[in-house]
């Protein structure tokens, strides 16, 4: 983690430091994680029993009344209020201009049975995010790639330790492209950009904010056995349903609030979204012979007869125009939607 602050009167403030008072650079190295159901659920149960109140988070009525009386009888000193105001002012001044860059090399999630034998390897590579706060706001995020490889029946050549076994599994799975259950064609899985604009700026584009999203096409190979094992692996996390449901409700509430604010406030938001649906490949009988190499030169990497389903690419965008009618100018929001590249 690197933090740098530059004063506005510095001679290189507008050149070297691009008129940004604070910069934060965060680099995260590659992580190898083993996901074992028994370990995660045991840890989750320990956290619930240790850090939650079985009797509920509500205080008894008498205790709440006592706390309320104490707060009324002991008002906050005026000196403390002045100090708090001064601190708030200093914090606000310090956060006037700041840029945060986060770079993540990637993570390998080795999904394993309770005894440590691998099921699949989920790899996420080259993620990055940038947040820039000035009189405007800019948020950029990208995810380079994601792969899911079948690791069933892989036997390590060195059984000296669990770590060496995991590395051997990963190496073997990445060498055989026929074991890829999910992969991305192209350089980026996701590219997101959100930017706000100052209406008083000479470069104001005519809208208050813009959202740009690009989702690359994921390729999913429907091989029956590993997918069934993954579904069974996921179903065993039913004990964490409450946590997943709380996260889902929080995300849904945040999205709803943001949508209502954008629509009800009258602000103009320009969006440009291109989403590619997953391309699904169905091999004959749901089986891929990993041991067969007779079709290595074939363009079909699986070496078997397949059906390929392409659900298509969805494009949503809008454009603002001004129409003069009934003696005044009206702002019109034109929204276009297209679905293309559908095939079987």
> 3-7, 29-33, 80-84, 159-163: which range is least confident on average?
159-163
The pLDDT > 70 percentage for the chain reads: 73
**How confident is the model over 29-42, as a mean pLDDT?**
87
Most confident region among 246-255, 258-267, 286-295 by mean pLDDT: 246-255
Report the mean per-residue pLDDT for the chain.
77
To the nearest 10°, the Cα dihedral for 195, 199, 201, 207?
50
**How confident is the model over 272-298, as a mean pLDDT?**
73
* Sign (positive or negative) of CA dihedral 74, 75, 77, 81: positive
- Prediction pTM value: 0.68
Mind listing the pLDDT tens digit for each residue in 136-185? 889 999 988 888 998 887 755 444 444 555 555 454 445 577 788 888 87
Is residue 295 over pLDDT 50? Answer: no
Distance CA 292, CA 247 (A): 44
> 47-51, 64-68, 206-210, 253-257: which range is least confident on average?
64-68
CB burial class (10 A; 0-12, 13-18, 19+) of residue 61? exposed
Distance CA 321, CA 336 (A): 14
Distance CA 218, CA 227 (A): 16
């Amino acid at each position: 983690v690197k933090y740098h602050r530059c004063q506005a009167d510095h001679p290189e403030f507008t050149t070297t430091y691009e008129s940004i008072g604070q910069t934060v650079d965060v680099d995260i190295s590659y992580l190898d994680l083993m996901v074992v159901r028994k370990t995660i659920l045991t840890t989750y149960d320990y956290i619930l029993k240790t850090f939650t109140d079985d009797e509920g988070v509500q205080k008894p009525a008498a205790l709440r009344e006592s706390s309320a009386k104490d707060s009324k009888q002991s008002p906050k000193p005026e000196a403390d209020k002045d100090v708090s105001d001064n601190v708030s002012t200093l914090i606000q001044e310090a956060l006037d201009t700041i840029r945060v860059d986060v770079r993540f090399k990637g993570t390998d999630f080795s999904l394993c049975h309770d005894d440590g034998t691998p099921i699949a390897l989920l790899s996420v590579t080259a993620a990055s995010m940038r947040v820039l706060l000035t009189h405007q706001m800019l948020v950029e995020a990208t995810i380079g790639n994601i792969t899911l490889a079948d690791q069933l029946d892989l036997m390590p050549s060195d059984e000296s330790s669990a770590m060496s076994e995991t590395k051997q599994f990963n190496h073997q799975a990445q060498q055989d492209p026929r074991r890829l259950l999910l992969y991305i064609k192209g350089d980026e899985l996701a590219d997101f950009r959100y930017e706000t604009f100052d209406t008083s700026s000479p470069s104001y584009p005519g809208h208050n904010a813009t959202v740009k999203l690009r989702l690359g096409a994921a390729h999913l190979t429907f091989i029956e056995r590993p997918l069934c094992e993954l579904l069974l692996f996921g179903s065993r996390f039913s004990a964490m349903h409450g946590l997943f449901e709380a996260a889902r409700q929080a995300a849904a509430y945040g999205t709803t609030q943001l949508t209502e604010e954008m629509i009800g406030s009258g602000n103009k938001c320009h969006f440009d979204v291109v989403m590619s649906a997953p391309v699904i490949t169905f091999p004959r009988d749901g089986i891929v012979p990993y041991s067969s190499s007779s079709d290595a030169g074939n363009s079909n990497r699986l070496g078997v007869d397949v059906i390929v389903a392409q659900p298509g690419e969805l494009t949503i965008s809008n454009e603002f125009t001004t129409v003069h009618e009934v003696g005044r100018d009206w702002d019109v929001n034109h929204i276009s939607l297209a679905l293309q590249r559908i095939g079987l």
